[in-house]
Amino acid sequence: MATPSAGRSRVNRGSEQVRERLIESAIAEFAAHGFEGSSGRRIAAEAGAHQSQINYHFSSKNDLWKASLERLLAELDSALASNLAAVDESDARARFSASVQGLVQFAARRPELNRIMMHEGAAPGDRLRWLVDNHMRGRHADLMSAWDALTASDDAAAVDRDVVYHSLVGAASLLYANAPEAVLLGIGPAGRDLVDRHAASVVAMFLKPLNH
């Protein structure tokens, strides 16, 4: 097989960098304006690219939206896996606590995911169906399995099973998704100390105290 020339490698790297910038710009745009209100022109301008490059890298606006969501969800999965790596797989309580910590840390760092979810979750549609069927249904099932293990070990707080998923996601993320409101209320959502206290508080909402 022929080895690509150095010039070709530079072109490929440059093209991939443009694609990455477009995804990051799209994440911010979709989070701020939703899918319908988003602008390809603004996405390209923020990425330092031409609007035609969106069509080159993505077959459609919907394709760019999917790539943006998949980027955020992959980062979320990585954050959770990193926290869980140091936890005993047989310790349901510790694994739940580690997952909550990872979720809160991610929500603080990447509030765009939950902002996009609030746009999409407000009305039924093809994008929401794709998101639930391909990404959220499995995550929901994993959380409910973990919750059932906590219930079986009598570690789960008195939270109705049907509201656990949305209650946990909201408790972990709303502070950062609504950061401008939090700032006006005198809360600084960017501080690491608050993130740590927040994670501990969410764990306390869903788990009974030790030695109860």
Residue 212 lies in a domain: no
Beta carbons of 84 and 99 less than 8 angstroms apart: yes
Same-domain pairing of 90 and 148: yes
Same-domain pairing of 100 and 35: no
For residue 35, with 0-12 CB atoms within 10 Å meaning exposed, 13-18 middle and 19 or more buried, which class applies? middle
Helix extents (H) in the chain: 6-37, 40-47, 51-57, 61-84, 92-109, 112-121, 126-131, 137-152, 164-177, 179-184, 192-206
Same-domain pairing of 36 and 77: no
What CATH number is attached to the domain comprising 153? 1.10.357.10
Same-domain pairing of 77 and 146: yes
Q: What are phi and psi of 109, to 5 degrees?
A: -80, -35
Distance CA 7, CA 207 (A): 57
Number of domains comprising the chain: 2
Measured in residues, the chain has a length of: 212
What CATH number is attached to the domain comprising 52? 1.10.10.60
The residue range of the domain holding 45 is: 1-58
Per-residue pLDDT of the chain (212 residues; tens, 9 = 90+): 444 444 444 445 578 999 999 999 999 999 999 999 999 999 999 999 999 999 999 999 999 999 999 999 999 999 999 999 989 999 999 999 999 999 999 999 999 999 999 999 999 999 999 999 999 999 999 999 999 999 999 999 999 999 999 999 999 999 999 999 999 999 988 777 999 999 999 999 999 998 76
Is 95 strand, coil or helix? helix
- Output the CA–CA distances (angstroms, integers) from residue 147 to 125, 144, 158, in the order listed: 29, 5, 11
Residue 211 lies in a domain: no
